[in-house]
Each structure stands twice: as C-alpha cells, then as structure tokens.
Amino acid sequence: MSEILFVGTLEQIRERLLQAQDILQLRATEGYPLLQPDEEWVYDTAKDERVCPVCSPHDRRVFRGDEIPGAFPSFEMIGVGEIAPRVHLDNPWLQGECRCGLSLLDAKEIITERLFQELEEVSR
C-alpha cells in the first residue's frame, strides 16, 4: 500500500491539504480524463450470429485509450470505463444498432493511480 506524506511547517501542510482537498473535489465532480495511451480497452461483440462483419474481427481486441477516437469516431462514453463504439453509425450500409462494447481493463487501478499521483504532487 502506497502512502502520501505531507511534510513541512504547519502552514505549509495546511496549504498542501487544502490543495489536496481541491483535487478531491474536482475529481468527484468532473471525474478523470480518460482515453490516454496507458489505458487498455477490450472490445466485446455480442458473440452471436447477428454480429456484423465489421464488428466481428474486433472481438476481444485490445485498443489503447488514445486509439479509440480515431478507430470509432461515433463512440460514446456510457459509464466509468464503458464505451459504446457505435460502429454502425460510421458505416451507413450496416443495418441496426451496434451492440458492441469496449471496457477499460483495470479501471479501478488506473483511476486510483492517477488520483494518487495528483495528491503526491501537491504533498511535496
């Protein structure tokens, strides 16, 4: 388990704790910026006979976060670590709604690590 240590004079520590509080508030309201190169997103199709020939080859493929906007221009963030690629919106000849999903691997670890790094920066 990692630790964050706030050191300094009482005044410095107070200042750093207030900065840390601001970061926690910001993240609670705005969340974390995703789609960065260190993220791995795995693609899942519905795995049935209706999966189209465009979506089918993506099944279980892993994409870096920064590859997603280019690969899936109509993608939509539908939850924390959940993306609907909306492949069919980019291919007018495809019928129906794309049922595929992309999920962020180790979402909790990645988000925890980013928060930790931000807090560590203000603790020094």
Q: Contact residues for Zn ion (CB under 5 A)?
A: 55, 87, 98, 100
Cβ atoms of residues 81 and 65 within 8 Å = no
Smallest distance from Zn ion to CB 86, Å: 8
**Nearer to Zn ion among residue 55 and residue 110 (C-beta):** 55
Smallest distance from Zn ion to CB 73, Å: 14
Smallest distance from Zn ion to CB 29, Å: 32
Q: From 98, 95, 96, select the one nearest 83 (Cα to Cα).
A: 98
| Inter-CA distances, 15 with 19, 20, 26, Å | 6, 9, 17
DSSP bridge pairs for 7 = none
Smallest distance from Zn ion to CB 85, Å: 7
What's the alpha-carbon Rg for the chain, to the nearest Å?
A: 20
**Nearer to Zn ion among residue 11 and residue 48 (C-beta):** 48
**Nearer to Zn ion among residue 20 and residue 98 (C-beta):** 98
Rounded to the nearest angstrom, the gap between the alpha carbon of residue 28 and the centroid of all alpha carbons in its chain is 15
**Nearer to Zn ion among residue 42 and residue 115 (C-beta):** 42
